[in-house]
Amino acid sequence: MMNTQHAAQQFTQATRRAVAQTERRAVIRRNIGSYHQKVAEGKRRYANWAAARDRAAARKQQVLAQWDRYLEAFEANVIANGGRVHWAETAEEARRIVLAIARQHGVRSVVKSKSMVTEEIHLNAALEQAGIEVVETDLGEYVCQLRGEPPFHIVTPIMHLSRQEVAVTFRKKLQVAASDRAEELTQIARQRLRAAFLRADMGITGANFLIAETGQIAITENEGNARLCFSGPPVHVVLAGIEKLLPTVSDLALFWPLLATSGTGQSLTVYNSLIAGPRAGGELHVVLVDNGRTRLFAAGEQREALRCIRCGACLNICPIYQNVGGHSYGTTYQGPVGSVITPWLRDDDDWSHLSYASSLCGACTDVCPVGIHLHHHLLANRRDAVARGRDAWWQRVLFRGWLWVMQSPERYRWAGRLATWAGAVGLRGPRGFPMPVRRTFRDWWSGQR
Ligand code: SF4
């Protein structure tokens, strides 16, 4: 178990390093700038974006209101379609299930499409430890794998890298003479990945949505690699968080464009697949992962965050994320949504320090396509952390002192005088924060009279 103080200190140190990397921040700013332009165009295609968002929020809320019923319906329909369903309460259990399926089929090589839940449960490391080759087939994730780095962002895993840096990675890790032309780099990755698809015994994918009424798995992607993962190898394993449900297949008419618009500014992602059972002669396994989601549900108001469709919009708008970047968080899910859900998903630490990594400007709440009140939940997390005694002793002393002062006009007056005195003798606040002026408003006002 990681020590709370240790995780918070690591976060502070990582953010200090990240904000000093001005070139890296310029790359991120450029990429996020072009994202915002595309998303603004995408939203203009909607007759009423706010109404679409309200409908989506209500639909996901309906799922949460009858979560058990929708989960059981989904399970029954997957089985009726010829698939198998496994329930994993923890990350450890999910890894064990996937390893057991792999062993049962003598799997030696796995191809994977982009899946944040597999990052969350550290699946690749477990498979590799068991002597199984794992190849990430999403281009961004492939580059992350070559560099030995986790994804920097939940949608665009290498948004922090320039083409030149990707070329250097290819030259170093793949021993190829690559220029930094995007087409050339893509061709190199394509050749390597084709070979991996052909030798794979198992394909692993995530799921964007699970359709309760039909037992279908909806996967949306831009490269076509997920299709090759689930249609080529004889065994397909889907890993999905238990919050991914939608009631009916017609809900996709709302959610697919909503996710594409908020995620990348596209009207619709290029490849949208619905899987309704195993491929001919193959096997389909669906692993439903809890790993703290029911803990988040039990939290009460923060359960609203289970509506998240992982579009990444709140990361892109967040001034903290833009400056400290994805790796500083030390978590699978970064930015505002990561700060809200991580303290509930991970029990290896408190992680409540992340809820303070926010200016509470509310921009994340404004952009969320499923209407999650993210900045409100960051405050709720802070409140809950204090109730659990996670605040530092000096914070308790400071706020009790502040309360004591604010409860009496006389004490408030004296505190004001003390502050002006501190300013007069040249004391300065942290990080250049201005000290109060030398004369209080009360003194000035009584002078006017
Ligand atoms: S919280 Fe909202 S904006 Fe953030 S990733 Fe989830 S759906 Fe997107």
Ligand 1 contact, 260 CB (< 6 A): no
227 & 93 share domain: yes
Q: Is 263 touching ligand 1 by the criterion CB < 6 Å?
A: no
pLDDT tens string 331-346:
999 999 999 999 999 8
CATH assignment of the domain containing 332: 1.10.1060.10
- Specify whether 239 is located in the same domain as 100: yes
* For range 228-240, the mean pLDDT: 97
Domain enclosing residue 437, as ranges: 396-448
* Ligand 1 contacts CB of residue 372 (under 6 A): yes
Say if residue 222 is in the same domain as residue 320: no
| CA-wise closest residue to 390 among 357, 341, 354 | 354
Element (H, E) at 111: strand 109-112
Which of 241, 266, 290 corresponds to the end of one domain? 290
**CATH, residue 168:** 3.40.50.10420
**What is the rounded CA–CA span in Å between residue 252 and residue 262?**
15
**263-297 pLDDT, tens digit each:** 999 999 999 999 999 999 999 999 999 999 999 99
Instruction: Measure 131 CA to ligand 1 centroid, in angstroms.
Output: 36
Do 99 and 152 lie in a common domain? yes
Closest among 268, 315, 250 to 28, alpha carbons compared: 315
Looking at the domain assignment, is residue 20 inside a domain?
no
Task: Say if residue 410 is in the same domain as residue 264.
Answer: no
Per-residue model confidence as pLDDT tens digits over 156-202: 999 999 999 999 999 999 999 989 999 999 999 999 999 999 999 99
Which has more confidence, 395 or 102? 102
**pLDDT at 443 > cutoff 70:** yes
Give yes or no: residues 96 and 204 share one domain.
yes
Rounded to the nearest angstrom, the distance between the alpha carbon of 209 and the centre of ligand 1 is 14
What's the total number of domains in the chain?
Answer: 3
CA of 150 to the centre of ligand 1 (A): 20
Within a domain: 13:
no
Q: Is the same domain home to 344 and 402?
A: no
pTM value?
Answer: 0.90
Tell me: do 278 and 316 sit in the same domain. Answer: no
Instruction: Name the band, by pLDDT with cuts 50, 70 and 90, for residue 5.
Output: low
377 and 327 inside one domain: yes
Percentage of residues in the chain having pLDDT higher than 70: 96
**pLDDT attached to residue 431:** 67
Q: Does residue 337's CB lie within 6 angstroms of at least one atom of ligand 1?
A: yes
Question: At which of 243, 270, 290 does a domain end?
Answer: 290
Ligand 1 centroid to 156 CA: how many Å?
Answer: 14
Residue 15 covered by a domain? no
pLDDT digits (tens, 9 = 90+) for 375-427: 999 999 999 998 888 888 898 999 999 999 999 999 998 888 888 887 777 66
> By C-alpha distance, which of 425, 424, 421, 423 is closest to 435?
423
Of 289 and 444, more confident: 289
Strands 84-88 and 283-289, sheet pairing: parallel
d(CA 424, CA 419): 9
Q: How far is the CA of 20 from the centre of ligand 1 (A)?
A: 28
Say if residue 187 is in the same domain as residue 114: yes
